[in-house]
Amino acid sequence: MTHRFQTRLDQAHARGDYAALLELIPYANLIGIECTREGDELLFRLPANKDNIGNPILPALHGGVIAGFMELSAALHLLVSTGAPSLPKIIDFSLDYLRAGQFRDTYATCQVWRQGRRVANVSVTAWQSTAAEPIATARAHFKIEEPCAP
């Protein structure tokens, strides 16, 4: 699996297209995560999908889908930014729900604070209308492997 991640990561960087990398993660495919690069920043998108609704009366996204989207966004951001040879392993994830996730596209951006050689801290912000009005924020800690030597 490690070699496949590295190969697809190299291809994603070269093409600026992360779809092939996301295909290696079944849950990312299930909920429909997309990733694009805007300048130096990665933007993650969770397209509106009826299968991701938790409360059909509102309708609102399932909280677990929001959490999974944010956790995977953080892991992928870390994978891309560090060049790790495989998807980082989650140590801890803390999420604050700020408002309901409505039935529409949801976006997330991440910021990495790296501590030491094996542990990284990532913050995630998810929003729908505007980044100034987040629906959730999270902090994640990951165990990472050293990048492969060339």
Helix (H, G, I), strand (E, B), or coil: what is residue 26? helix
Name which residue leads in pLDDT, 38 or 132.
132
pLDDT tens per residue across span 77-112: 988 887 777 788 999 999 999 999 999 999 999 999
Cβ pair 52, 63 in contact under 8 A? no
Helix (H) or strand (E) holding 6: helix 2-15
| Residue at 103 is within a domain | yes
Q: List the domain range (segments joined by +) for residue 35.
A: 2-143
| Residue at 149 is within a domain | no
Does 147 score more than 60 pLDDT?
no
| Residue at 148 is within a domain | no
Q: Which residues contact 71 (CB under 8 A, 6 or more apart)?
A: 90, 93, 124, 138, 140
How many domains does the chain contain in total?
Answer: 1
Cα–Cα nearest to 125, from 144, 150, 108:
108
Q: Which of 11-20, 65-74, 109-118 has the highest mean pLDDT?
A: 65-74
Structure tokens at 119: 């542990």
According to the model, what pLDDT value does residue 125 have? 98
**CATH number of the domain where residue 24 is located:** 3.10.129.10
